[in-house]
Amino acid sequence: MTAPFLLRAGSFSFFVYQRVLLVQCLLFFLLAALCLHGLMSGSNLLTWQDVTGWMAGNGLAPLPAKILIDIRLPVVLTALGVGGCLGAAGAVFQSVSRNSLGSPDILGFTSGAATGAVYHLVFISQSPAGVAGFAFLGGCFTALVIYLFAIKGQVLQTGRLVLVGIGTGATLTAFTGLLLVKGDIDNAMLANLWLLGSLDGRQWGHVFTVMAGLFTGLPVLMLLAKSLRLTEMGDAVAFGLGVNVQLSRHAGLAISVLMVSLATAAAGPMAFIALGAPHIARALTGLSLPLFTSSLCGAVLLLTANRVSAVLPLASQLPAGRVTAILGGVYLIVLLLRQHKKGAF
């Protein structure tokens, strides 16, 4: 990576890497293109002039305006928020666990959020606010259980975190299946569809839910990024450099659990995003913990999956979550094979 250059803004100064800046600009351009395509595409086609004109303040006919504002825009913004939350949270989980396979869906946190959301869908109501609240409670409860089993002598054991997380996730997945069996059949069918992970029919309530997590959590994680990078060098080294290791890890995990829970509540479980986005971001930037770039990569991946599911035959039967699961399975196999060749296991 080329040497960074220093930018100053009053009393603040920060380094900017040219490669990172270029990657982020390209990702922003790709996001803009995917968003524009998502707003244009559908059974009622809109031209790019219609969309860009509306964004510039020009009016639209009542029907195209309703389609754009009430149907397509919430889907696009929900995908941006969910992908952004999962990408950033996945980077933190991999950093804290010191494991390239460490992600919320593998470590069980997504399963906990899904269990809470399914309980509300099956036994209470389909209210987006209620689903978000129970998903958050489920994610927090799962995080507490995993934390209590993974801590030893007031120190979080990263190896134990992975093992406990996988076991807890498997248990919660089975419990979620039990909820579907015991609940009302109509509510269970709706919950089962939600578990597939879909962006269809998203409303502004889903947008507000996930954007609250993104705009609250991402800035805090970026403030913690330096401390988390130092902890990757080892606890003793980080402590010697003045880092409160346990506080940084606990704060990073807490914010990440919040973001994952709200993202899961908004669109259901989305596999692969939290696992793949940090790997792609690290490969593109060369940084060990590229939080903002991981968030952008997560948004690009989910929007791409949603576009793929929309153009494939029988698209209504293939939610975006199934597309990301297929991609994730293939990517996981490739990643394991690469680590095997390197002698990692």
* pLDDT over 90 percentage in the chain: 19
Residue 299 pLDDT: 94
User: 144-148, 278-282, 319-323 — which one is most confidently predicted on average?
Assistant: 278-282
Average pLDDT over residues 321-338: 77
What is the 3-class SS of the chain, one letter each residue? CCCCEEEEECCEEEEECHHHHHHHHHHHHHHHHHHHHHHHCCCCCCCHHHHHHHHCCCCCCHHHHHHHHHHHHHHHHHHHHHHHHHHHHHHHHHHHHCCCCCCHHHHCHHHHHHHHHHHHHHHCCCCHHHHHHHHHHHHHHHHHHHHHHHEECCEECHHHHHHHHHHHHHHHHHHHHHHHHHCCHHHHHHHHHHHCCCCCCCCHHHHHHHHHHHHHHHHHHHHHHHHHHHHCCCHHHHHHCCCCHHHHHHHHHHHHHHHHHHHHHHHCCCCCHHHHHHHHHHHHHCCCCCHHHHHHHHHHHHHHHHHHHHHCCCHHHCCHHHHHHHHHHHHHHHHHHHHHHCCCC
In this prediction, residues 285-306 reach a mean pLDDT of 90
Give the per-residue pLDDT at 150.
Answer: 81
* Residue bearing the bigger pLDDT, 195 or 7: 195
Query: Mean pLDDT across the stretch 203-230?
Result: 90
Instruction: Give the confidence band of 230 by pLDDT, cuts at 50, 70, 90.
Output: confident
State yes or no: pLDDT of 80 exceeds 90. yes
Please determine, for residue 101, whether its predicted confidence score (pLDDT) is greater than 80.
no
Structure confidence at residue 242 (pLDDT): 80
Is the predicted pLDDT of residue 114 greater than 60, yes or no?
yes
pLDDT for position 302: 92
Most confident segment among 40-44, 281-285, 312-316: 281-285
- Round to the nearest angstrom and report the end-to-end CA distance of the chain: 29
User: 84: pLDDT confidence band, cut at 50, 70 and 90?
Assistant: very high
Mean pLDDT of 167-186: 87
State the average pLDDT over residues 73-92: 93
Question: CA-to-CA distance for 52 and 187, rounded, in angstroms?
Answer: 40
The whole-chain average pLDDT of the chain stands at: 83
Domains and CATH numbers, the chain: 23-341 (1.10.3470.10)
What is the per-residue pLDDT for 201? 79
**Higher-scoring residue by pLDDT: 55, 140:** 140
Confidence grade of residue 289 (pLDDT, cut at 50, 70, 90): confident
| Structure confidence at residue 181 as a pLDDT band (50, 70, 90) | confident
Read off the pLDDT of residues 8-33 as tens digits, 9 standing for 90 and up: 666 666 667 788 889 999 999 999 99
pLDDT band at residue 259, thresholds of 50, 70 and 90? very high
